[in-house]
Amino acid sequence: MKQQSINPATGELIAEYELHSKEQVQQAIAKAHTAYLAWRKVPIGERGKLLIAISEHLLAHKERYARLITQEVGKPLKEAIAEVEKCASCARYFAQNGQAHLASQPIETEHYKSYVAYEPMGIVLGIMPWNFPFWQAFRFILPSLMAGNACLLKHASNTPGCALAIAQACRDAGAPADVMQSLIIPGSRVEEVVAHPAICAVTLTGSTPAGRAVAALAGKYLKKSVMELGGSDPYLILADADMDHAVKTCVASRTLNSGQSCISAKRMIVVDSVRAEFEEKFSEQFASQPMGDPLDEKTAIGSMSRSDLRDELHEQVQRSVQAGARLIAGGKVPAGPGAFYPPTVLADVTSAMPAYHEEMFGPVAVIIPARDDEDAIRIANDTVFGLGGAVFTRNLEYGEQIARERIESGLCFVNMMVRSDPRLPFGGIKESGYGRELAAFGI
């Protein structure tokens, strides 16, 4: 069997890749373990030099890697370039801060010496998604290598080219040959990797159902795990919000990666007193975002990653409209090749509709009315997800109080879009997963 890489913007076959056999997977794990035993002895300062070299390599070849990302997942090229640049920034962050994060922590006791020490563990298996194929992978690879571990990457089935390019990029930057490898296997064969005694931990970014399945395997084999799962982030627009800023920020968030981000503005919850103004301004700006060839620098919304996912999204929109949602813009599958879906706005969304409860993973904006601030907070928390959230208000102290104490999410921002940053821990609660990536928590 083979994994195919298909350009979702054209439907054309890019390449086919042979799956790794069971024997090849076992050999890869054995080689990774041998590489780990040597790598863990390398002084942490030397490990940091590798991360700097990875950063420099990514920047030197960012256009090539970005084009590969765009071809495999349909991401606008300018966003793909920014993704590679963010990976380089992450590498520099852990190179510069990893040693301090991993420093022993003395603890005062009645004994001669007591301290907490952070030591390498072994091989970390990363199961990563297609939507940010470089960032999600490097987000676990970089701190793992800095900490002295080895890495195996099981990437999404539609991004085998990116998977192999990431492993090669590490080698080209000077990493030992087997300390970072990519496995070309289907999800049905993940258990054979998790079960191996040399695998010390598994980290997954993906859907909640996938997280449940892999977390169950991690529990079965007693492996440490981090699960970064789905999200339906609420963006609260309060009566005193700077409306132009709120609209601009929500449009930017919902447009990012053609709406295929776990932390984009999935549910815009707007208090009644400003709802009409927000709907008008947001719908006009969002619907006018140019959709088309992701290689065109003018494109804001490229192709979705797969036609089947586009069709699932359209079905969610249709069911929501049938249940009473008001379709302001979009909502029609365009003719022609490619997995394109237009910027779509659903208003008057209530709890009786799929758009209220389900994650809309594509360029569909959901506007939910709220009577007042308390009602907006209630709606924000009326979800199984808890990844990110944002509050828009001119009263910064009040906004921070809501963000910190009232919104049930792992991340919450005031007057800005939810984002990941190497300096800040990243992760969710509820059905958005557990554990944290990035910053000191992530290493």
Residues 428, 359 contacting (CB under 8 angstroms): no
Give the rounded percent of residues in the chain with a pLDDT score beyond 70. 100
Tens digit of pLDDT for each residue in 5-61? 999 999 999 999 999 999 999 999 999 999 999 999 999 999 999 999 999 999 999
Tens digit of pLDDT for each residue in 54-96? 999 999 999 999 999 999 999 999 999 999 999 999 999 999 9
Across 271-276, average pLDDT: 98
Model confidence at 349, pLDDT cuts 50, 70, 90, reads very high
According to the model, what pLDDT value does residue 170 have? Answer: 98
Q: Which is nearest to 250 in space by CA: 413, 417, 402?
A: 417
pTM: 0.97
- Give the C-alpha separation, 110 to 95, whole Å: 35
- Give the C-alpha separation, 406 to 390, whole Å: 11
**99 Cβ partners below 8 Å, 6+ apart?**
44, 45, 48
**112 Cβ partners below 8 Å, 6+ apart?**
none
Model confidence at 335, pLDDT cuts 50, 70, 90, reads very high
- Give the C-alpha separation, 99 to 101, whole Å: 5
- Give the C-alpha separation, 373 to 355, whole Å: 21
Residue 90 is a catalytic residue: no
Helix/strand/coil for 328: strand
Helix/strand/coil for 176: coil
Rounded to the nearest 10°, the torsion over CA 286, 287, 290, 292 is: 120
Is residue 272 pLDDT above 90, yes or no?
yes
**158 Cβ partners below 8 Å, 6+ apart?**
3, 4, 5, 6, 8, 72, 73, 130, 305, 306
Give the rounded percent of residues in the chain with a pLDDT score beyond 90. 100
Tens digit of pLDDT for each residue in 388-412? 999 999 999 999 999 999 999 999 9
State the catalytic residue, choosing from 87, 162, 262, 412.
Answer: 262
Tens digit of pLDDT for each residue in 142-188? 999 999 999 999 999 999 999 999 999 999 999 999 999 999 999 99
Residue 262 is a catalytic residue: yes
DSSP characters for 329-364? Answer: E---PPSSSS-----EEEES--TTSHHHHS---SSE
According to the model, what pLDDT value does residue 153 have? Answer: 98
State the catalytic residue, choosing from 228, 279, 358, 437.
Answer: 228
Residues 345, 283 contacting (CB under 8 angstroms): yes
Across 354-360, average pLDDT: 96
According to the model, what pLDDT value does residue 1 have? Answer: 80
- Give the C-alpha separation, 7 to 280, whole Å: 35
Rounded to the nearest 10°, the torsion over CA 403, 408, 411, 415 is: -30
